[in-house]
Chains A and B, each alone.
Chain A
Amino acid sequence: MGPCRGDLAVRAANGSQNGMNGEKMGLDPPEWGKLLSQNMLRTGTLNQKDSIVKMASSPYFSLGVLFLVALGFGLTPLALAWLWAKAFSPAKPNAIKNAIYECGLVSKGDAWVQFHSAYYLYAIIFMIFDVEAVFLLPFSVAFTGLGASACVAMLVFVLLLIEGLAWAWVKGILTWA
């Protein structure tokens, strides 16, 4: 923004000089308006037109426009379909038709069932083995070409993960309650 603003300020300064010369020659009222806005810029007050210029020169302006277009592209067909259905849809609603579709059977219970928190703990412990396997394979493939420091680093990594497993074991998470 710095250079841009400076550019405007320079132009404003030039404009005011021209304006002083032009005022003697008698300018049209629109020219006065321009001079006024330039004076306001010089004094640090931005009017509406200048703020639009400032916004359009922002690097995010085109992104914003694209976002709005993308939003309209998605929402307009939905809105049209909704309006079309409101006006023309031949609905014959009834209790069976509005019921939950479950392959022709009557649905039982609630779809929002809760899972036991033990499932999540198991998922997290699974991650230990998952991450370990991902790194152990390239390690074992390149094992013969590795130095001692690489082996120590890998050992630390594996021991860190094993520590997590041991912690879970001690906490009794591995025992299904």
Chain B
Amino acid sequence: MHIAEGVLSPTECAVWYAAAAPFVIHGAREVIRQVRDHPENKLLLATAGAFTFVLSAIKLPSVSGSSSHPTGTGVGTVLFRPPVMAFLGMIVLIFQALLLAHGGISTLGANTFSMAIAGPWVGYGFYRLTKRLGGPDALAIFLCMVFADFSTYCVTSFQLAIAFPDPNTGIMGAAGKFLGIFAITQVPLALAEGVLGILLFRFLAKAAGPQLRALGVLSGGPEPATDLPVKESADV
């Protein structure tokens, strides 16, 4: 859910660009540092961006036969940390605006703030908190994915409420209205993305356990036998 081109006023566009800029610049500097220190990471970072974009194109099955799509930022946050996701998320949003007509350039600051900054940082906060409290990996990943999605939708709702306050009840009334409307799709979607995250990392733990341990995503423990056949769909 991105705010479409032209919806926000010029002042709001400028304010959200200014709010997002420090995080994106910090992320960009982190990316430049990583590329300078480890040139081989250039392609891995690009792959992470492409993977996030493609994730948003994978339809999630639902009982009614309809489908939704994940935001993909939760996965990137766990794998690459929030600062990098601020920059990669902005690139993905530019591609979504120009390749899918989803979002916009004037609303890029607002969309970056909600999807690439607020979502990843809140999700990562829950991820770290769960790990610090000794919670299992699956719960940490579930909470990260769910709250990355939730916070994205809450921030977007407030952005729209500030832009279009309710004539009777003001910004808070409008926020309640937008939160209620988006909740119909976003609450099930966030929970679904959390479940999908557990399944995804369970699959990755079987297929790429050592790499995930090297990234610090999975806690220690016995290494799985790498010569065991992974579920056949890994190679389809």
> Do A and B interact with each other, yes or no?
no
Residues of B near any A CB (own CB < 8 A): none
